[in-house]
Structure 1
């Protein structure tokens, strides 16, 4: 009997300097096996349960988005607050980090819609942020035809852009026309793999053409010392009554220690 080779695992101890350098140069890095396939399957099951039971979800043609699962679901909280993921993120960013929020992004079978190129940072009411990044963990296999990510390497240098329309193929290139000619890198993932990407990196995701849902869990890490800005509005901070210029409160946005 032939046994399939085990995928390599990525831990804070095995994270190479080459991977850190690649992230800081390109704005993203693909890390295999940040969680085991068994854990990915367990989290995927919890994600589908949450999709069917959590009231505060956002269903659209592009994807179903569920925020703040770490506050409602013990299983997904384990992934959001995973100390190894936080330690890797801290090393990539090179500064102390805190949680901004988590989210499930589920593309239903044959959804027919791409997530068009955009940056994440313009959607967040943050001031003085030195760095922010997202850990996008595949909870199922995500080949190209199931909605995997595409990145424009180096585009994280673009700062101060308005938010972009995720449903408009040309909007990113209207605000940054030079990106139309830049290289694009598409990264299919196996269950348990992760990409980390800078909050200002232009990225997109293909439609899901398959018979199964694409299930991704995202943990967003931000500068532990950033302050709250008046705009844009955001569902995570809008109910909290925060004062402009104040730090994010730890009870809602827990900081990670240097060792995570």
Structure 2
């Protein structure tokens, strides 16, 4: 797999046509060095604080500690959720106007003993009419294979026939879509500051953390600005009173404007 090595925060260059085509063909792409070393330090320290003090969705989950919608409570990490370069890349890859669905801090404890098993993201979301969705997975520490990096099944992001699966069951995706057992898989270790973007329907997994260090990853999920709400319960929409068939409210799911700056 080739990667784009020309895109840095300092350069602010658009992604190459080859990189965009690679993403649209494979359903994922690796962009090295998107964050500067200084940004990595700033966001990593803020992430450690949220990991220690934030409210996890399931505190007993051995797979990872997940804190959602960090942008609403942590000013520093709001800057990462709304990072203009990440948003510009996401908009270019998707090719449509986007809004924020949610962010999340995903921390795997040292020697956690549990992988995040193969799944797609989008089947869990209460969205209708979405033309595209994608996640920016930002490594805030070095993430070699042994620390819980991700693997992807390329070219499967047009699949809409796979049900939500159990993230703790290593066979469940392949029971839901038996043909995927025979598809090749691509594993991408990351340096701190690297980013992978993956389509909401790209099957992917993250290894368990077998090292002595905490794995810290920060994810921003971008979705079609014009999608509508299905009414299916979800932690990010529960209690907001969003009518079925309505768009997502901007105050909770900010739009990114034409230069991919968040409209807060």
Deviations 1:159-203 (A, max 9, x none): 042101100011001111111000100000000000000000000
Alignment match, 1:64: 65
Tell me the TM-score normalised to structure 1 length.
0.95
- 1:238 aligned partner: 238
- Corresponding position of 2:103: 102
CA offsets per residue over residues 139-174 of structure 1, 9 Å max, x none?
A: 000000000000000111110421011000110011
* Cα deviation, residue 258, structure 1: 2.0
Residues 58/41 of structure 1: CA separation in 2 closer, same or farther (3 Å cut): farther
SS across alignment from 1:104: strand
1:116-131 equivalences under 5 Å are 116-131=117-132
2:257 alignment counterpart:
257
TM-score w.r.t. structure 2 length?
Answer: 0.93
Tell me by how many angstroms 1:9 deviates: 4.5
1:31 positional shift: 0.3
Q: What residue ranges of structure 2 are gaps of 5+ in the alignment?
A: none
Q: Point out 4+ residue stretches in structure 1 off by more than 2 angstroms.
A: 7-12, 55-59
Deviation at 1:14, TM superposition (A): 4.3
Instruction: Indicate conservation of the 8 Å contact 2:138/2:217, yes or no.
Output: yes
1:115-136: per-residue Cα shift (whole Å, max 9, x none)? 1000000110000000000000
2:205: which partner in 1? 204
Q: How far did 1:237 drift?
A: 0.3
Aligned to 1:35: 35
Q: Could you report, residue by residue, the CA deviation over 1:16-47 in whole angstroms, capped at 9, with x for unpaired residues?
A: 11100000000000001111122112211111
Deviation at 1:56, TM superposition (A): 4.5
In the comparison of the two structures, how many residue pairs are matched?
253
The separation in 1 between residues aligned to 2:223 and 2:8, in whole angstroms, is 21
Secondary structure of the 2:239 match is helix
